[in-house]
Homo-oligomer: A and B are copies of this chain.
Amino acid sequence: MPASRKEAEPGRCNNTALRKAARHVTRFYDGCMAESGLRTTQYAILNLLADRGPMTMAALAGLLVMDRATMGHNLRPLERDGLITIEVGRSDRREREVSLTDFGRQREAEGKTLWLKAQRRFEQAFGAEDAKAMRRVMARIAAMELDVQSVRPFGREV
């Protein structure tokens, strides 16, 4: 009995539905990438840097819809292991420019092979077109304006 068996009942909470799917799929992708020593989050970061070149932490965080502090945490193991460098921005010294090292570029390329396998196996099971549609829906959700409105007696939204 595979670990994924569950009742069909979808549940009412949009957030929980998303998280359950994300947990399941992340476990699969992480498992596929395990032999590379990279987690999917790490690979996602390296892949962005490989495709788009160096960028600031805030830019990376924005692209991955991630808190800036979280991005800072996630970069540390990559820096420690020599996959990236983090340097003070030249034009704006508040910024930190994140760059791939040669080693990082190499590890990203190795990871791509495993990621592709995971991607193919997922889409073989789920359907390539369904997957594409799903990614579109996810992108739409990630781009939604969802601000926690603090209730303020005499208004003036912040």
Contact = CB atoms under 8 A, between A and B. Distances in A.
A115 B11 CA distance: 14
Interface string A1-36: 011111011111111111111111111110110100
Interface string A50-67: 000000000000111111
A143 B41 contact: no
B141 A25 contact: yes
Given A18-B18, A18-B21, A24-B146, A6 B131 contact: no
A121 interface: yes
A42 to B, nearest CB: 12
Interface of A: 2-6, 8-29, 31-32, 34, 40-41, 44, 47, 62-67, 115, 118-119, 121-123, 125-126, 130-131, 134-148
Residue among A22, A119, A134, A144 having the largest count of chain B Cβ atoms under 10 Å: A22
Contacts of A32: 148
Contacts of A18: 18, 21-22, 25-26, 134, 138
Contacts of A139: 8-11, 17, 20-21
Nearest to A6: B143
Given A15-B40, A65-B23, A121 B136 contact: no
B119 A20 contact: no
